[in-house]
Structure 1
Amino acid sequence: MKLRDYIVIGYILSFLITITAVFWASNQMLIEKKDTYFIVAITIVGGLIGATISLILFKGVFKSLNILKEKTINIGERKFDVKNEIISPVEFRDLSIAFDDMAKHLKESFLSLEESEKEKSLMIAQLSHDIKTPITSIQSTAEGILDGVIEKDEYKYYLETIRRQTTRLNKLVEELNYLTLSVKETNSADKKETIFLDKLLIDCMSEFKLRAEKEKRDIFIKVVPENAKIESNYNKIQRIIVNLLGNAFKYSPSGTKIEIVAEIKDNKLYISIIDEGCGIKKEEIDNIFKRLYRVEASRNMKTGGYGLGLAIAKQLAVQLNGDILVESEYGKGSKFTLKIDC
């Protein structure tokens, strides 16, 4: 039975019991018959009026219950439109608000899952492309050697090709592995140590020393204040800076300068990498930190890498309770800034 039926049956039973009790009491008091009937009649009329008023008041409760039922059905059908239509009673209104909050969070969760699935599909497609290209090159070179198409005096050249392609595959696997480990360690405690910023930047830049000389670049390093130091995780910050520097070298032509500026201001550390490269279009800035995303539609391996460097840098910055800020003007250069609390 429905709640309405239980309430109606309850009223009828209590009504009959009341009339019976009044009639019995009237007889016990030796009241005349007409007076007894009058008292019973008044009781019946009063009971009917009371029952009518109660049902009218319960109408709002039944309506609220139907709304809650519809909300539950809608959530089951993944319809998460937030509409708080219940005004009273207060308990049902609060329950309706709780339902709406739950629906909102469920909607966000499902959207996040859908986005995650799309990203996963895109990652698989891109990884297939990145893996297939060097494997195809290795396979065709090996077949050429085995079939005798490639002469012995050309072996060294083609073996170098195989080594170069296997190096590309190893690098891709290493970066994917590092990114996976980085995600797993998001909630782990960071090992902190004293970091002198000038030494940190010099160490990071040393990895690009030969490349900078070969490309005849001017490198400017500035630390404010000069003896600045912080307590943080050295390896993570170094990895972030190296990744950002690697991008600066990739996306700026030989002969252009690269600036590295570290500054402590308002209890925050800012390390900026500034280049004079191709820059990034505004509509692409929100995507550059996605795994395997590349700005070039052609996915040019000479500059594009694997699209993991910035994703790793962003993840590490988040682990340090920081962020990476981007300022870029297409065709003129970019400025990537690591910001963390000191």
Structure 2
Amino acid sequence: MTLRYYLITGHLIAILITLIGVFIGLNYMVIEQKQVFFIMAIVITASLLGALFSLLLLSKITTSLSLLIAKMDALSRRDFQTDISITSPQEFAHLDLAFSRMAQSLEESFASLTESEREKALMIAQLSHDIKTPITSIQSEVEGILDGIIPPEDTPRYLKAIHGQTGRLNHLVKELDFLTSEVYGSDKENEVLETIYLDKLIIDVLSEFHLQITDEERDIAISVLPESAYIMSHYHKLYRILQNLVSNAFKYSPAKTPISIDLIKAKEKLTITVTDKGIGIGPEHQSKIFNRLYRVESSRNMATGGHGLGLYIAQELAQQLGGFISVDSQKAKGSKFSLSIPLKQEPKNQTD
């Protein structure tokens, strides 16, 4: 039985009880029979009119309930774009507003899940390609050596190529391991701040590129202001961010071109800028380069060997430190990556 029929039945029962009560009461009064019928007729008419007006008012409630049911049915079909709006009664209007907010939240959640699944599928496809390509190359080169197809005098050259391919695989595994352990598995509440001297941080990072700097005859310009400045932060995160930015500068700029690294400690923030004179990044790519697995060179250039994780990891770590990385780049003129992070409270017993 629907709500409408419940209400009609309730009103009819209320009218019947009222009539019985009035009829019994009139029988105990000294009233002529003609007057009894007249009073009963008035009571019946008034009761029916009252029931009619009550049902007319309640029809708005039943209509609102029907609209809510229609919204729920649409939601069950994942149709979130319902234009149905309830204005009265006020409680139902509030319920409709809350329901619309819930529907909007669900729509955003479903959209996020869909995008996440799409990104996951893309990530698996890209990583599969990045893993399969060097493995296939290694397999064919090893088979060539074992089968005697490759002459002995060429073996060192092929072994060097195999070494490079295994290095790419090892780098990818390290990136993925760092992604899961540091970016997704970071316990921010239990992290301890460290005193980090900026000049030492630069030396530690550049020591990783010592051979490359020598081989490519790079001119590395370093500036730390003020000199001997230090901050309170997380060393391994800052190191990783700066290492990724410097690595990108080497990858995407020709040998013998300069790279500059500027660290400026202001009162409330630290700014680290890495500038190169490389190939640059087009404006259509600059808003996407921090996305996971995004690569400007979709062809997966073997010379650069990027996997599209470095800048994503760097930006994630920067956000964990409360900051962000921005890029200013022009095609064929070079790129400037800038890290800005707020500074933590420093110990009072130390001075710059």
Q: TM-score, normalised by structure 1?
A: 0.94
Asked if the contact 1:294–1:304 (Cα under 8 Å) also holds between the matched residues in 2, the reply is: no
Deviations 1:68-120 (A, max 9, x none): 11111111111112646111112111111111111111111111111112111
Unaligned runs of 5+ in 2: 344-352
Give distance in 2, aligned partners of 1:227 and 1:168. 36
1:71-86 alignment runs, 5 A limit:
71-81=71-81, 83=83, 85-86=85-86
Aligned partner of 2:247 in structure 1 is: 246
Aligned to 1:260, the other structure's residue is in SS state strand
Equivalence map 1:206-225=2 (5 Å)? 206-225=207-226
Cα displacement string for residues 227-262 of structure 1 (whole angstroms, at most 9, x for unaligned residues): 432211101111000001100111112232222222
Q: 1:29-58: CA deviations, max 9, x gaps?
A: 222112111111111111111111111111
Residues 104-113 or 193-202, more deviating: 193-202
Cα distance in 2 for residues equivalent to 1:330 and 1:160: 33
Map of 1:1-342 to 2, 5 A cutoff?
A: 1-81=1-81, 83=83, 85-189=85-189, 190-265=191-266, 267-342=268-343
Q: TM-score, normalised by structure 2?
A: 0.92
Whether the 8 Å contact between 2:168 and 2:305 is mirrored in structure 1 is no
- Between the aligned partners of 2:77 and 2:270, the Cα distance in structure 1 is 48
- Can you list the C-alpha shifts for 1:278-328, whole angstroms capped at 9, x where unaligned? 221222122212222211132102124222111111221122222211222
- Structure 1: 5+ residue runs without aligned partners? none
| 1:121-168 Cα shifts (integer Å, max 9, x gaps) | 211221122112211111112211222212333333322222222222
Contact kept in structure 2, 1:84 and 1:97, CA below 8 Å: no
Runs of 4+ residues over 4 Å off in structure 1: none
More displaced 10-residue stretch of structure 1: 133-142 or 195-204: 195-204
Instruction: State the secondary structure of the residue aligned to 1:223.
Output: strand
Confirm or deny: 8 A CA contact 1:196 1:229 kept in the other structure: yes
User: Which residue identity is paired with 1:251?
Assistant: Y
Count of matched residue pairs: 342
| Alignment partners' CA distance in 1, 2:139 and 2:294 | 27
Aligned residue for 1:302, secondary structure, equals coil
Query: Which secondary structure does the structure 1 equivalent of 2:270 belong to?
Result: strand
How far is 1:2 from its partner? Answer: 0.8
Give the Cα separation in 2 of the matches to 1:330 and 1:63.
Answer: 61
Distance 2:158 2:333 in 1: 39
Q: Percent identity?
A: 52
CA contact (8 A) 1:295 1:304 kept: no
Question: What does residue 350 of structure 2 align with?
Answer: none
Partners of 1:43 and 1:291 lie apart in 2 by 77
Alpha-carbon contact 1:60-1:88 (below 8 Å) kept: yes
The one-letter code matched in structure 1 to 2:113 is L
| 2:282–2:330 contact (8 Å) kept in structure 1 | yes
Q: What secondary structure is seen at the aligned counterpart in 1 of 2:304? A: helix
Q: Is the 8 A contact 1:289 1:314 kept in 2?
A: yes
Cα distance in 2 for residues equivalent to 1:263 and 1:93: 55
